[in-house]
Amino acid sequence: MKLSATILALAIYVSLATAQSQEWGQCGGIGWAGSTTCVSGTVCTVINAYYSQCLPARPSSECTGPTSTASIPPAPTGSNSNALARAAGKLYFGTATDNSELSDAAYVAILSDDSYFGQLTPANSMKWDATEPEQGVFTFSGGDQIVSQAKAHSQIMRGHNCVWYNQLPSWVSNGGFTSAQLTSIIQNHCSTLVSHYKGEIITHAFETEPFNDDGTWRSDVFYNTLGTSYVDIALQAARAADPGAKIYINDYNIEMTGAKATSMLNLIKDLKSRGIPVDGVGLQCHFIVGEVPTSLQSIMQQFTALGVEVAITELDIRMTLPASTALLAQQETDYKNVISACKAVSGCVGVTVWDYTDKYSWVPSTFSGQGEACPWDANLQKKPAYSGITAAWA
Ligand code: 9MR
What pLDDT, in 10s, does the model give residues 35-71? 888 887 777 766 555 566 777 664 433 333 445 567 7
Taking residues 261-288, report their average pLDDT: 97
Conformation bin of residue 70: beta by default, left when phi > 0, alpha when psi is -120 to 50: beta
Q: Which range, of 11-15, 128-132, 151-155, 182-186, averages the lowest pLDDT?
A: 11-15
Structural contact between residues 373 and 358, judged by C-beta atoms closer than 8 angstroms: yes
Supply the pLDDT for residue 70.
72
Q: Which range, of 60-74, 183-197, 252-266, averages the lowest pLDDT?
A: 60-74
How many whole angstroms from 362 Cα to the centroid of ligand 1?
7
Taking residues 308-325, report their average pLDDT: 98
How many whole angstroms from 3 Cα to the centroid of ligand 1?
63
Is 291 tagged catalytic? no
Q: Sheet containing 26-28: give its strands across.
A: 26-28, 51-56, 42-48
Supply the pLDDT for residue 69.
62
Q: Is pTM beyond 0.75 here?
A: yes
Which of 133, 211, 140, 205 is closest to 173 using CA atoms? 133
| Collapsed DSSP state (helix, strand, coil) of residue 189 | helix
Burial 245-284 (b: 16+ CB within 10 A, else e): bbbbbbbbbbbbebebbebbbebbeebbeeebbbbbbbbb
Integer Cα distance of 246 and 94 in angstroms: 17
| Collapsed DSSP state (helix, strand, coil) of residue 391 | helix
Residue of minimum CA distance from atom 20 in ligand 1? 362
Residues near ligand 1 with C-beta < 6 Å?
A: 123-124, 166-167, 208, 284, 314, 362
Atom of ligand 1 nearest to the CA of 366: 21
Q: Which residue ranges form the domains of the chain, and what is each CATH number? A: 1-57 (no CATH), 58-393 (3.20.20.80)
Q: Which range, of 17-31, 278-292, 293-307, averages the lowest pLDDT?
A: 17-31
Burial 370-383 (b: 16+ CB within 10 A, else e): bbbbbbbbeeeebb
Neighbour tally for 193: CB within 10 Å: 27
Structural contact between residues 342 and 90, judged by C-beta atoms closer than 8 angstroms: yes
pLDDT above 70 for 6: no
Structural contact between residues 343 and 394, judged by C-beta atoms closer than 8 angstroms: no
Is 255 tagged catalytic? no
